[in-house]
Amino acid sequence: MKHTQRKIMRKLGVGVAALSLVLSALPAAAADSDKTILELRLQSGSNTAIVNGQKSSITKPYSKSGVLMVPAGVFKKAFNTKIRLAEDNVVKISSGSRIVSLTLGSRIAWVRGHKVALPAPPEMSAGILMVPLRQVAEGLGGKLEKNGAGIVIRMEAQEDAGTEVEETPNIDNDEGKTQIGNSYYEWSMNYPTGLVIGQGGGDESISTFMDENNAYYMEVHVASQPVPLNADDLLQQLVQTAKETGEMVIDRKSFPKVKVPYARVVTKDADGVLWEIRQYYDNGRLYVIYFSDNKATNYKDLSQYAGLLNSFKTSFNAQDKSIKDLSTVVGGTREAGNSDYGVSLSIPAGWKMDDQRMQYESNDGSSFHLKVTSVPADGTLESWSRQLQKWLSDSFVSTAYEAPKTYPMKVAGVQGLVQEYRYNFGDGWVKEYNVLIQQSGYRYLAEYAVPEKANKGSDQFNALISSLQIDFQTVASNFGQLEEDDYLTEKTKTVKKASKAYEYTVNIPRYWTAVSDQFEMADVEYKFTGGRFSIKIDNGQSFEFTVSQLKDFYDKQGKSYKNLKVEEVKDVTFAGVPAVSFTFHRVEEGISYTGHQIVLEHNGKTYTVTTTLNDANNTAVQSNALDSTLNSFMFVK
């Protein structure tokens, strides 16, 4: 497990919970009345802010995609905002009745109940949540103005809204409980007074905790470990991980003679925070504890928590009523679903769960996804089935898929259709079952895919589908016209995109999915089945230097790696200007694909247009869509 994947949960994105420790530790300015004006002054690159007239140290703000990113904690520090941690990487920042809801890595936010697009997504930087200043500040009711090199934000102090931003759960509310653990992953430990349980984002393999008085922060990770590890192996792994991530190892020790052997290191990270990390091997699993105390200045300061950490066990006594069980697993499954769509089902324990998107994944590559769309005019199950079959032949070459078998099946009390087929991107065959349900003006597409090497057969599919329950009236009550199904979009239909900042237009196929589609920014990217398309613009690097770098890269890579072959490098004309085109073929993890990079210059800016397309997906339809997109690129004034 990578050391950089802990401390705010970078591994699976659940670490927003850790922000409570960082953010709640910040002092807040109190509001004397609803007319009190609070003020924050800061500037890019400076770790000093002026909070209501007093100097305060903060994480340095920085610019990204034309917006100033600031630590979310400055809003608590200056304006007494509250921060609530929710599931699925969601953080809600509130001031009185005003609420801004952000999701890590997403450019979509909800401001006072309205959906807005952010110029840059919230992100973790050195363990601190960084957010776009203007959108959050204005969403909370602040007013911004420039002052020299800095920015001033002023806001009226707000009354507490009360119930909207609730606190994270405190285990002390569970009468008679003196321990905490997880029965499915088989661990337990004592807990001290004031332990607050963080949100896990639906992944029980990671648990987060903190003290309500900000004394410490802790995580427990559990992962499958098929190869047994002794205490020295565990210690070597901990030390090596610290070295790889540039952390300083302050202390290290292995404990081979205890009931469950383990290893322990104390490290200092780049922010100067001391961490004690412990690893245990038992039950065919690797258990890792990450523990930090922001107030610790010497590694010996962590010894005061030895009693807590030493209480950790790689076992769970179900008969012990003093243990609070964090697991929601019953009979090997967990309840999942989305109440907005009236959907519920049972997901195998250990799967990653995203109820908001109704996407569920297993570590062996199996997945289940449910999507709801509106029925098009005169749409039937049979016509829908034919369109799905056409999508398959449009997206995979004939040797990379097998035509589907279609048969009826009753699902959630109504008659549906099942399409059963196989496809192969190059890294192994995948069996997929598409379940088509059409009811009350809406379509429900359930997709279950499993790599054939997982050797699971149809049992898991049948278990998932038999557990699926749908209240078909719920969607009609909560939604109007929903988006069109991606499968039904004609591959030849495009939408014209334009960038005023970079003076170009391009026609993007409607069936492509946007990864980043803000055309006034420097990077744009789309993906589709087996391929990608991107435009990257660099203001600071010359055309000649970029071409030279790429030539050097492909020359070295082509000589060093058998899985990469540079097929052609030539001068071309692209969008009416001289350009250099690179064409290469690569095999990566069994998947072979062809890539093109076109480098050109316009008005002092260097443009790199890149496309990739898997051999298994290089159909005439997909290839033509890429060619048409490239040919449509043109510069405009």
pLDDT tens per residue across span 429-444 = 999 999 999 999 999 9
Which CATH architecture does the domain made up of 333-488 adopt? 3-Layer(aba) Sandwich (3.40)
pLDDT at 353: 86
The pLDDT tens digits of the residues spanning 59-99 come to 888 888 778 899 888 888 888 888 776 656 778 888 877 88
Same fold, 333-488 and 494-635: yes
pLDDT at 450: 95
CA triplet 435, 441, 447: central angle to 5 degrees? 20
Q: Provide the pLDDT confidence category of residue 396 given band limits of 50, 70 and 90.
A: very high
* CATH level 3 topology of 3-156: Copper Amine Oxidase; Chain A, domain 1 (3.30.457)
Alpha-carbon distance of 16 to 605, in angstroms, equals: 37
pLDDT at 536: 95
pLDDT at 262: 97
**278 vs 95, which has greater pLDDT?**
278
pLDDT at 191: 81
Q: Provide the pLDDT confidence category of residue 615 given band limits of 50, 70 and 90.
A: very high
Any idea where the domains of the chain sit in the sequence?
A: 3-156, 171-325, 333-488, 494-635
pTM: 0.66
The pLDDT tens digits of the residues spanning 202-240 come to 578 888 787 756 578 888 999 999 899 999 999 999 999
pLDDT at 32: 38
> Do 92 and 99 meet the contact criterion of CB atoms below 8 Å apart?
yes
Burial class (CB in 10 A: 0-12, 13-18, 19+), 136: buried
CA 135 to chain centre: 21
Which of 204-208, 498-502, 567-571, 616-620 is predicted with the least confidence, judged by mean pLDDT?
Answer: 204-208
pLDDT at 406: 96
pLDDT at 394 over 50: yes
pLDDT at 11 over 50: no
pLDDT at 196: 64
The CATH number given to 494-635 is 3.40.1000.10
Alpha-carbon distance of 363 to 346, in angstroms, equals: 17
The partner residues of 129 in beta bridges, in order of sequence, read 124
pLDDT at 167: 42
The CATH number given to 171-325 is 3.40.1000.10
pLDDT at 121 over 90: no
